[in-house]
Amino acid sequence: MFELRLLCPEDRVETLSDALEALDALSVSVEDADGDTAVEQALFGEPGMPPPAEGWQRSRLVALFATEALADEAALLLQAQDFFAACTLQGVSAVPDEDWVRLTQSQFAPVEITPAFWIVPTWHEPPAAAQHVLRLDPGLAFGTGTHPTTRMCLRWIAGRGAGGDWGRVLDYGCGSGILAIAAAKHGAAEVDAVDIDEAAVQATGDNARANGVHLRAGLPDASSGAYQVVLANILATPLKMLAPLLSAYVAPGGALVLAGILARQADELKAAYAPYLSLQVADEEDGWILMTATRGAPR
Ligand SMILES: C[S@@+](CC[C@H](N)C(=O)[O-])C[C@H]1O[C@@H](n2cnc3c(N)ncnc32)[C@H](O)[C@@H]1O
């Protein structure tokens, strides 16, 4: 394989990506040319919303070609185009052969949630001090324990602990099932895990079996009744739309735990849930927040 690297301003990213694909690139990736420097730019986007930008102010495009001749030809053709004016060719080089499986696996190390609770890929041994171990390999569904939103939910689950009053638990937007499985590992006996994505439902069932826990995975209409704990790590926009539904699932004395929210979105979420429950910020990591609320128990 050979890679062609280009630098371009944000307004050329789409045109160049389309052109590279038309020139037989096997893949095109876009990254912040200033990534890992003091001037790197964060781009936060949400599904269903227009992307905040096509790329970064200074974007690096890396296109993969099957042969060096194809990569060189693409470079020559692109440099002859008007739209290439503000762009720079960085070069064509061979991509060394790698053991891709080993490389991918090496990027997923065990994740410490608390000293006693770890998420451990199947190709690693759990740390000796771990009392609760969730075995999970990266797959198609979101949730490996590396994202701050998932980690904050997992810390909340660990904080409730094995002796907690779990009652019925709902994981709404379960992805890999990581939160549902974690709750089951910490003592929850009745867990429902739902997602709009069939692949996530399948992954949750598979991951639960691999962890030896029992739960019910299904599409959202599989959830019903009242739950002592409702967990939802989605994103601010869907969480606001789901406010009446998720609030209604919280039993008297129960807890609602929401993640996928940026710190600057806290007030929007509080306002959306105010008719039902009083949300508070309970944790913060890397610009993301965890918001929780409890429904008063009946007198
Ligand atoms: C950020 S992932 C969270 C996965 C996992 N619960 C975790 O904490 O890592 C969000 C999941 O919510 C699902 N989702 C998005 N909108 C949803 C909706 N309206 N109802 C149910 N699930 C939804 C997505 O398919 C995705 O699997």
Does 156 lie in the same domain as 30? no
Residue 46 lies inside a defined structural domain of this protein:
yes
Please give the distance of CA 117 from its chain centroid, rounded to a whole number: 20
Does 149 lie in the same domain as 69? no
For 113-134, write each residue's pLDDT tens digit: 999 999 999 888 899 889 999 9
DSSP string, the chain: -EEEEEEEEGGGHHHHHHHHHHTT-SEEEEEETTTTSTT-------TTS--S-SS-SEEEEEEEESSHHHHHHHHHHHHTSGGGTT-EEEEEEEPPP--HHHHHHHT---EEEETTEEEE-TTSPPPTT-SEEEE----SSS-SS-SHHHHHHHHHHHHH-TTS---EEEEES-TTTHHHHHHHHTT-SEEEEE-S-HHHHHHHHHHHHHTT---EEE-GGG--S-EEEEEEES-HHHHHHTHHHHHHHEEEEEEEEEEEEEGGGHHHHHHHHTTT---EEEEEETTEEEEEEEPPPP-
- Helix (H, G, I), strand (E, B), or coil: what is residue 299? coil
- Helix (H, G, I), strand (E, B), or coil: what is residue 14? helix
Does 267 lie in the same domain as 177? yes
Q: How far apart are CA 247 and CA 15, in angstroms?
A: 45
Does 251 lie in the same domain as 183? yes
The answer to whether 150 is annotated as binding is yes
Q: Looking at residue 46, what is its pLDDT?
A: 60
Instruction: Indicate the pLDDT class of residue 98, thresholds 50, 70 and 90.
Output: confident
Last residue of a domain, one of 96, 125, 145: 96
For 237-265, write each residue's pLDDT tens digit: 999 999 999 999 999 999 999 999 999 99
Residue nearest ligand 1's atom 23 by CA: 173
Mean pLDDT, rounded, of the chain: 91
Does 82 lie in the same domain as 128? no
Does 158 lie in the same domain as 72? no
Q: Is the Cβ–Cβ distance between 239 and 232 less than 8 Å? A: yes
Does 137 lie in the same domain as 280? yes
Does the complex come out with an ipTM higher than 0.95?
A: yes
Tokens of 285: 């990591």
Where is average pLDDT lowest: 28-42, 227-241, 284-298? 28-42
Does 53 lie in the same domain as 115? no
More confident call, 146 vs 181: 181
* pLDDT at position 22 over 90: yes
User: In which domain, by residue range, is 184 found?
Assistant: 110-294
The best mutation among 195, 240, 245, 283 to test binding of ligand 1, ranked by most ligand atoms within 8 Å of the C-beta, falls on: 195
Last residue of a domain, one of 96, 122, 157: 96
Q: Is the CB of 145 under 6 A from ligand 1?
A: no
Does 280 lie in the same domain as 255? yes
Residue 150 lies inside a defined structural domain of this protein:
yes
Instruction: Indicate the pLDDT class of residue 224, thresholds 50, 70 and 90.
Output: very high
Does 276 lie in the same domain as 149? yes
Does 183 lie in the same domain as 276? yes
Residue 261 lies inside a defined structural domain of this protein:
yes
User: What spacing in Å lies between the alpha carbon of 217 and ligand 1's midpoint?
Assistant: 13
Q: Is the CB of 142 under 6 A from ligand 1?
A: yes
CATH number at residue 92: 3.30.70.120
User: What spacing in Å lies between the alpha carbon of 238 and ligand 1's midpoint?
Assistant: 9
- Give the pLDDT mean for 228-242: 96
- Give the pLDDT mean for 65-89: 95
Q: How far apart are CA 76 and CA 78, in angstroms?
A: 6
For 156-187, write each residue's pLDDT tens digit: 999 998 777 899 999 999 999 999 999 999 99
Q: Looking at residue 45, what is its pLDDT?
A: 64
- Give the pLDDT mean for 9-19: 94
Tokens of 159: 């904080």
User: What spacing in Å lies between the alpha carbon of 104 and ligand 1's midpoint?
Assistant: 24
Does 202 lie in the same domain as 259? yes
- Give the pLDDT mean for 20-37: 91
The answer to whether 173 is annotated as binding is yes
Q: Is the CB of 262 under 6 A from ligand 1?
A: no
Output the pTM of the full model.
Answer: 0.76
Q: Is the CB of 181 under 6 A from ligand 1?
A: no
Residue 205 lies inside a defined structural domain of this protein:
yes
Residue nearest ligand 1's atom 8 by CA: 150
